């Protein structure tokens, strides 16, 4: 008679976290023979995880223990199949076998693992809300709820960008829920957590590094930092009228700016250092011709298409006393009756001075000269000059510092009147 086990197969279920050296009793075989022919010995098929331990309960039977020799790992070997063999002491020896099927039960011993530790993403700053940033993926080797993964954004740097991104907790899709601005933040660092549904849950992490690409979304800005007005009309070429600052918040070619003045005359721009310019005088001024300039400083970046900025600058020109009074005629000819009363107006002269205020305010005076002399007005009851011709100069002087003057010559011809009766000369006879 060969040894016979109670069943041809025995099923065992062991949690994968079962401690090493744990023992599990097995029911031995029976042999209908007697004596040596009924003495049984047991062997276990080779296994690195299990060994067989025998003990004597009494003279006729042995206790059998299946001993765990190495930690179990369901994710590596979910089922162990062993053969337990019982051999009797007969000659020849007869054997009986029983299959041991050991199913390893899952425990939550695996945290979710991402397929990448770092996800590198590049997006332009004008990406629309709802744009898919990236899809992260994590797997958990455990079964059931222990292997179900839920995603969340753990931290965002900078912290002010917490509302810029969202993640689908089931799919791991990260989408844009806010506005990117290269000029504010060029790099975002998101720490993503994936956790299972175990108790307590286990989690894994990855990083998403998002680089923001600049687009040409900022026009150049022009600022007047200093303005020296009004500008005297005698200012020399090269005089600095204003200091300006020009900037563009974009980077690279999008932030490279060229500047110019429109209209170009009589001013120009000179770069002092990066982003700073001087508005300088390139030509002589003449307030009497142009008393005020409206110039525009224009800036254009190197983007495609280019964006422009501008700033208007009002430059009034102040007067200097650079114009002398000028009479409309160099010589005035006046005919005057010899019997004009004192204070009678002989002529009216006018000199023009295009300067402003005191520089253009004119006063007049008589300046005697030439062959004759006279005041131009009657000094007594009647004017009886010694000759029939009087010449003098009239001087026009402005109130500038120093004053400028202009002259005109006045020629007065005295018209004779029949104001003398015939008179006999002494010693003359009568016809």
Assigned token pair, 201: 């849950």
- Of 195, 213, 231, which marks where a domain is finished? 213
Backbone angles phi, psi at 333, to 5 degrees: -105, 125
CATH of the domain at 358: 2.60.40.60
Instruction: Tell me: do 314 and 353 sit in the same domain.
Output: no
SS3 37: helix
257 in the same domain as 280: yes
Task: Specify whether the CB–CB gap between 113 and 140 falls below 8 A.
Answer: yes
Report residue 126 as tokens. Answer: 């004008």
pLDDT, residue 341, reads 86
Model confidence, pTM = 0.65
The token pair that represents 332 in the structure block: 């005035």
Among the three residues 80, 105, 130, which one is the final residue of a domain in this structure?
105
Indicate whether 94 and 163 sit together in one domain: no
Q: Tokens for 271, please give them.
A: 């770069």
Confidence (pLDDT) at 379: 39
How many structural domains does the chain have?
4
Residue 421 belongs to a domain: no
The pLDDT, as a whole number, for residue 417 is 78
Which residues, listed in sequence order, are joined to residue 296 by a DSSP beta bridge? 262, 312
Give yes or no: residues 253 and 193 share one domain. Answer: no
Which pLDDT value is given to residue 337? 86
Residue 358 lies in a domain: yes
Answer yes or no: do 185 and 128 share one domain.
yes
Q: What is the pLDDT of residue 58?
A: 55
Residue with tokens 């979910």: 78
pLDDT at 164: 97
The DSSP code for 202 is: -
Going from the C-alpha of 72 to that of each of 26, 48, 49, 50, 78, the distances in angstroms are 19, 10, 7, 10, 9
What is the residue whose two structure tokens read 């031995």? 28
Same domain, 207 and 231: no
Cα gap 214→287, rounded to integer Å:
48
Which of residues 318, 349, 367 is at a domain's end?
Answer: 318
The span from the CA of 83 to the CA of 106, in Å, is 23
Residue pLDDT, tens place only, 371-409: 333 334 433 334 455 578 889 999 999 999 999 999 999
The CB-based long-range contact list for 29-36 (8 Å cut-off, 24+ gap) reads 29/3, 29/4, 29/5, 29/86, 29/96, 29/98, 30/3, 30/4, 31/1, 31/2, 31/3, 31/4, 31/86, 31/88, 31/94, 32/1, 33/1, 33/88, 33/90, 36/88, 36/89, 36/90
Residue 425 domain flag: no
Does residue 20 lie within any of the structural domains?
A: yes
431 in any annotated domain: no
**What is the number of other CB atoms lying within 10 angstroms of the CB of residue 151?**
24
Place of tokens 């300006």: 244
pLDDT at 57 (0 to 100): 60
In a domain, 168, yes or no: yes
Q: Which residues of the chain have pLDDT under 50?
A: 59, 370-383
Question: Which residue in 267, 219, 275 sits closest to 239, CA to CA?
Answer: 267
Per the structure, the complete domain to which residue 333 belongs is given by 326-415
DSSP string, 342-360: TT-------EE--S-HHHH
Residues facing 389 on adjacent strands = 413
Instruction: For residue 137, tell me if it sits in a domain.
Output: yes
């Amino acid at each position: 008679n060969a040894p016979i086990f109670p069943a041809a197969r025995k099923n065992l279920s062991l949690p994968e976290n079962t401690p090493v050296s744990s023992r599990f009793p097995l029911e031995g075989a029976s042999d209908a023979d007697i004596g040596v022919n009924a003495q049984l010995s047991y062997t276990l098929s080779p296994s690195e995880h299990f060994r067989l331990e025998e003990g004597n309960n009494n003279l006729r039977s042995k206790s059998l223990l299946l001993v765990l020799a190495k930690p179990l790992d369901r994710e590596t070997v979910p089922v162990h199949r062993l053969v337990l063999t019982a051999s009797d002491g007969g000659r020849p020896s007869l054997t009986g076998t029983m299959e041991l099927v050991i199913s390893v039960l899952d425990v939550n011993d695996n945290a979710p693992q991402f397929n990448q530790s770092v996800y590198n993403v590049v997006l332009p700053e004008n990406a629309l809300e709802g744009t898919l940033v990236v899809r992260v993926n994590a797997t958990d080797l455990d079964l059931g709820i222990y292997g179900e993964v839920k995603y969340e954004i753990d931290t965002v740097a900078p912290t002010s960008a917490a509302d810029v991104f969202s993640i689908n907790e089931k799919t791991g899709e990260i989408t844009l829920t806010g506005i990117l601005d290269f000029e504010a933040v060029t790099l975002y660092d998101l720490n993503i957590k994936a956790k299972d549904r175990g108790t307590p849950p286990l989690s894994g992490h990855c990083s998403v590094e998002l680089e923001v690409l600049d687009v040409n979304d900022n026009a150049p800005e022009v600022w007047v930092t200093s303005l020296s007005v009004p500008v005297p009309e005698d200012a020399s070429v090269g005089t600095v009228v204003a200091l300006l600052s020009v900037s563009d918040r974009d980077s690279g070619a999008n932030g490279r700016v060229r500047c110019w003045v429109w209209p170009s005359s009589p001013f120009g721009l000179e770069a002092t250092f990066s982003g700073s310019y001087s508005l300088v005088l390139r030509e002589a001024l003449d307030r009497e011709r142009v008393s005020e300039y409206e110039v525009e400083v224009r800036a254009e970046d190197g983007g495609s298409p280019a964006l422009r900025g501008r700033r208007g600058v009002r430059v009034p020109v102040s007067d200097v006393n650079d114009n002398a009074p000028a009479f409309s005629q160099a010589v005035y000819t006046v005919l005057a009756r010899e019997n004009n009363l004192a204070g009678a107006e002989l002529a009216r002269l006018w000199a023009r001075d295009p300067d402003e205020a005191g520089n253009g305010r004119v006063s007049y005076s008589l300046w005697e000269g030439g062959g004759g002399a006279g005041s131009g007005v009657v000094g007594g009851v009647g004017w009886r000059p010694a000759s029939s011709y009087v010449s003098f100069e009239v001087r026009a002087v402005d109130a500038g510092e120093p004053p400028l003057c202009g002259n005109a010559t006045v020629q007065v011809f005295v018209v004779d009147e029949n104001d003398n009766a015939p008179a006999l000369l002494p010693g003359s006879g009568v016809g």
